[in-house]
Amino acid sequence: MAVRIGKQTVKLESKPRIISTYTVVGPKEGQGPLKDEFHNVLEDDMCNCESFEKAESKMHYIAVQGCISNAELKESDVNYIFSGDLLNQLFSSSFMARDISIPYIGMYGACSNMTETLSVAGMCVESGCGKYVIASTSSHFSAAERQFRMPLEMGSQRAPTAQWTVTGAGAMMVSSVQEKDKPYITYITTGKVKDYGIKDPNEMGAAMAPAAVDTIRQHFEDTKLQPDYYDLIVTGDLGKVGKSITEKLLLEFNIDIRNNYIDCGDEIYDDENQGTNSGGSGCGCSASVMGSYIYKRLLNGEFKRVLLISTGALLNSISPLQGESIPGIAHAVAVEMGES
């Protein structure tokens, strides 16, 4: 039974296991520093589809099917799938779900979708409502660009602070089956929406950093843990600019995470050589890095305790045109390895 501790955190006493993952990325991600970590690197980001949006949905489907296969299960074994993406009406997730026979709940948290869906999947398993539950998400550079910024055909110059939406998808299978050699979820800290007045869609890192800071601070306040409890503290989607802001703001609360902190968006690309400016973002950013690079190192014992904080910018295609600022959200999930 889950136990609420502090203001925003629950401790999952049953320690739901992440028994399998699967990641799919596009060609650009497959040329980056983590190229050897992903399960599937596409040769063509169109994925043999006629639009970017359909390509993203197909990637999402491949990730979910790969996750089921890696768990040595069938679709009929899975009780729920919690999924989300960046596109209007959850295009990628819903069209993926129509091709599988699993009860589906669509969720939207922008780029925070990986920890949002993973949080709910963990709580679902903890409650006894599901034995096998999938958390999944996706994003696609070209689909996101033309929805949130400018049509690619315009060839608009990208700002130095702009981030490159990761073309990728990731799925994780959460289970009540206690496989001792698999990592498990211990804490979930659900974030609050934070808005510090950033209005420029090219400043995603700055818009999301305050939410990351608030959730990380609250996690440590609720759990009474210290940053060095974790081998790795990982934000999902802040890139270089947002990562730097997060480090500096946390120091104002006397929280120093600089020795064990990385950001998925800062790791997935070689920004200088790949022209990705401030790094990566998008739902697929934390999903693909957590489901491959970090998950593998939990399995081999390199990491014992990881705190993942995926961050999202809760704008849509219309809100910046109406002069609205960009609200941010961040959710944290602690994943640990060892005997329960």
- C-alpha pair distances (Å), 241 with each of 238, 248, 276, 309: 7, 11, 12, 16
Quote the pTM value. Answer: 0.95
* Listed range (166-180, 192-206, 235-249) with the worst mean pLDDT: 192-206
pLDDT at 270: 95
* Statement: residue 265 has pLDDT above 60: yes
pLDDT tens-digit readout, 109-139: 999 999 999 999 999 999 999 999 999 999 9
Helices H / strands E in the chain, number of each:
10, 15
Q: Residue 330: which residues within 8 A CB-CB, separation 6 or more?
A: 112, 115, 191, 208, 211, 212, 214, 215, 216, 235, 309, 310, 311, 312
169 has a pLDDT exceeding 80: yes
Phi/psi for 150 (5° steps) reads -125, 150
Which residue did the predictor score with more confidence, 163 or 226? 226
Distance in angstroms (rounded) separating the CA atoms of residues 110 and 245? 20
Q: How high is the pLDDT of residue 161?
A: 66
Ramachandran angles phi, psi of 169, nearest 5°: -145, 150
pLDDT per residue over 140-155, tens digit each? 998 877 776 665 555 5
CA dist., res. 91 & res. 105, Å (int): 13
Q: Is the model's pLDDT at 228 over the cut of 80?
A: yes
**pLDDT for position 174:** 98
Q: Which uninterrupted H or E stretch holds 333?
A: strand 328-336
Question: In the chain, pLDDT over 90 holds for what percent of residues?
Answer: 83
The percentage of the chain sitting over the pLDDT mark of 70, rounded to a whole number, equals: 95
Sketch out the chain's domains with CATH numbers: 3-175 (3.40.47.40), 185-336 (3.40.47.40)
> What digits encode the pLDDT tens for the residues 74-107?
999 999 999 999 998 999 999 999 999 999 999 9
> For residue 336, what pLDDT band results from cuts at 50, 70 and 90?
very high
pLDDT in tens, 291-326: 999 999 999 999 999 999 999 999 888 887 799 999
pLDDT at 224 (0 to 100): 98
For 200-212, what is the mean pLDDT? 90
Whose tokens are 């203001």? That residue is: 7
Give per-residue pLDDT as tens, 34-69: 999 999 999 999 999 999 999 999 999 999 999 999
pLDDT of residue 222: 98
How far apart CA 312 and CA 40 sit, in angstroms, is 25
Stated length of the chain: 340
- Asked if the model's pLDDT at residue 10 lies above 70, the reply is yes
- Higher-confidence residue of 333 and 271: namely 333
What per-residue confidence (pLDDT) applies to 160?
A: 65
